Structure 1
């Protein structure tokens, strides 16, 4: 747009000038075009389509144990939640939480969204259990006897209705290399099938009095109606705003939600995630579920047995002015009396005096 404005002003200036001015305007126009092309452009965020199939597949909830080599034999565990939030997602999550036997394991979620009502119910369940939520995907170890894998924050997605599951965490961790987005709600296109049944009523009369009626089934037919995509009602948005406030989010999150139409996405920056409280910390999943175990310390080496030269025998001090014989040696040292004697003799037979070092 700026290139067009510059060219318009330039050609207007030289419109009534000479041929030389026309040539000058042509040269300047080409130079301006080259400068505009050389200006760096700011690239818009690109949807991480690498891991989109996993985030859009039917939801799968699994209890996973870490496969890191430096954590054996007690590697950390987590609950992997991946895929579209559908009608069965709440039951799958509840079943997995019940299987943990009240252990507070973190939830690693990787989802492109889904049904808002189910997502809010999942968020409330997570908050009631006092669990943390991390935006991350799980890479599973192939051919493992039990679900084992590694947590991956890179290119993990938590978009649309997934933000409501994330909001349910007591602590909410989102790494800078993952993607968290919100947008306006939408009621997806759906087909509603209505069944119409036909009955015939028989009335039994005795005299002038009705004594009974009987309803007899005649037949039925199915009528399908197709509804296109539509915007949620004001009541639905009010319920969503109340949910975010209940989970401790700020009003700014609800406002950012309306900045993107339903067919697009508003990817939140790390600062926006913290400001809206949708994330309590910009932290990767690898630092949460991977706790390297310190190598066991080797047992303390046994102290070497004391040699006779290291044994100190303290004799009773004689009374002043009297002499007393040294006390008898213990029985276990009598065989080494010669070495002990040499240890106690001070420089006997050594020229120059001084204490002789104990024999070794």
Structure 2
């Protein structure tokens, strides 16, 4: 159609034409870590289910986790976000079993896991009662959770793109029965034939496009490349660095053909920090973890006969924590570590008796501050630390240990038997008249028997200049998380790597024998606590730093009537 058009006194001839133009364009598909031609069926899309342990005897307080099983696809991160939103801030570990899938989605999942500070393990979940794919299942109604099951590692995989998701965990474990493998990334390029309808004008013999619209789209074939580009390699390297994982993982990916899978050995994963310990998923899901102090975040109590029916949410979402009924008594926990200054009460030592710092209870984030306040009252005196503790906060133990090493103190595992009153008792007054606590000096005796030093407590022991665990005392190690911080700390304490390896490879508490502790460098001798606090040590030459003479009148007044 044409017409005359006058503009600024000049005459133009305009012609509007409609043309159909076909193009063959190449679309770059989101790169996916797939391995074979034709594209293999990697199974169902990953689904997320919150599961409660069905292990016998764990109720009323049982561990819970997020079961993540299936192929990672572009929409998987959005489903995971909905699961996290339903949890309302609860931090549950992720138990993953996946053949891989979409790389960009795996990176997004890893960042979500890291942002929410979640742990991750490779494993499967065997469901009891209602299954995730069952609709309108009411078998678990009234039990306080929608899904129950038991995790297991045998046959579980995390391959291809899955290790990128796995790298996002705070604590990351695979174990000897699960399988984690990597290979080259496969990038798929898709040719698409597009047909456009273009509307344009001819002005002074030149075409001016007015509108362009796609009227048909046809597949014109595709091709793949099996080597990652420099841009992709750079992006993956930046991600692994962000997650604190060594680039050795990326090198193995590059050197393994896309048609195969290279399983990473446990020690190699530990060396590259892809795993934080050699433990299996039991570290995060075994029922006994709920007996630890403090209780892990993924343990939840459902009081007997108080089960509540979970909310009606999609399978992809998770059951939020059920509020405890009014008046519910929380599970009993060990008291936080308290420090007390103690003077030997054995009459054989008067007036020159040994003194020490008694440290008993669970290590918490506040433990280093309490220790620092006590040390400030000593005016530089170096008293040995007599410790008995079930463990506790790893970072708190590291900070307390650094304080002990800074002051060049000795550490021994034992407990203190107070002869006046227990410092934790209400109204307990120390010997010098000051209320029990940081400034009071109590009378007491040290005893090996019945003392314990478990898990994070061993970190504190490692800080001593002299480090002793008597034959009647017990010391156990266990993987603690925060592997990098623990490794650096032990190196700063000049203790060999063998101790770090022993800690990392035990998912449950493992008692060390005296010869083993000496060989690992954790102890400096086989002596008992009497080496540092015995009644006769103050007669030796040179006299130990922790001996102090009290005026005879005070000494007599302080002597207990009976021993």
Q: Secondary structure at the match of 1:76?
A: strand
* Aligned partner (choices 218, 221, 225) of residue 216 of structure 2: 221
Cα shift readout 1:197-235 (whole Å, capped 9, x = no counterpart): 3143479x9xx9xxxx99688982223232222133111
Of Structure 1 and Structure 2, the greater helix share is in: 1
Aligned counterpart, 1:271: 267
Do the aligned partners of 2:194 and 2:214 also contact (CA within 8 Å) in 1? no
1:100-249 residue pairs with structure 2 within 5 A? 100-143=87-130, 144-145=139-140, 146-188=146-188, 191-193=190-192, 195-201=194-200, 220-230=215-225, 231-249=227-245
Q: What is the CA–CA distance in structure 1 between the aligned matches of 2:161 and 2:167, rounded to whole Å?
A: 10
3-state DSSP of counterpart to 1:196: strand
Residue 49 of structure 2 is aligned to residue 62 of structure 1? yes
**Residue in 2 that maps onto 1:88:** 75
- Contact conserved, 2:70 with 2:98, CA < 8 A, in 1? yes
Q: Which whole-Å CA distance do the structure 2 matches of 1:219 and 1:98 have between them?
A: 39
1:199–1:161 Cα change, 3 Å: same
CA shift digits 1:69-109 (9 cap, x unpaired): 21123321111111111011101111111111111110011
Greater share of strand residues, 1 or 2? Answer: 2
1:166, CA displacement in angstroms? 0.8
Q: 2:212 and 2:274 mapped to 1: Cα distance? A: 56
What are structure 1's unaligned runs of at least 5 residues?
1-52, 297-360
Question: For the residues of structure 2 that align with 1:137 and 1:161, how far apart are their CA atoms?
Answer: 18
Distance 2:160 2:214 in 1: 44
Q: Distance in 2 between matches of 1:111 and 1:56?
A: 9
CA RMSD of aligned residues (A): 2.8
Q: Secondary structure at the match of 2:224?
A: coil
Identify if the C-alpha distance between structure 1 residues 83 and 243 changes in structure 2 by more than 3 Å, giving closer, same or farther: same
Structure 1-normalised TM-score? 0.60
**What TM-score do the two structures reach when normalised by structure 2?**
0.39
Bigger radius of gyration, 1 or 2?
A: 1
How many angstroms apart in 1 are the aligned matches of 2:106 and 2:255? 21
Separation in 2 of the partners of 1:270 and 1:191? 38
State the SS of the aligned residue for 2:104.
helix
- Counterparts of 2:232 and 2:271, CA distance in 1: 24
Q: 1:130 to 1:55 in 2, by over 3 A?
A: farther
Q: Counterparts in 2 of 1:71-82, with a 5 A limit?
A: 71-82=58-69
Structure 2 stretches of 5 or more lacking a match? Answer: 1-39, 131-138, 141-145, 292-303, 305-563
Which residue of 266, 285, 289 maps to 2:285?
A: 289
The verdict on how the C-alpha distance between 1:200 and 1:267 changes in structure 2, with shifts beyond 3 A counting, is: same
For 2:158 and 2:62, locate their aligned partners in 1 and report how far apart those are by CA, in whole Å.
26
Cα gap change, 1:54 to 1:290, in 2 (>3 Å): farther
Q: Would the aligned equivalents of 1:71 and 1:290 in 2 still touch at CA under 8 Å? A: no
Question: Do the aligned partners of 2:97 and 2:122 also contact (CA within 8 Å) in 1?
Answer: yes
Aligned in 2, Cα 1:291/1:90: closer, same or farther, shift over 3 Å? same
Which residue number corresponds to residue 84 of structure 2? 97
Instruction: Report the alpha carbon displacement of residue 132 of structure 1 after superposing the two structures with TM.
Output: 0.5
CA distance 1:179–1:113, shift in 2 (3 Å): same
Question: Match of 1:258, SS?
Answer: helix
Q: How far apart, in 1, do the equivalents of 2:107 and 2:93 lie?
A: 18
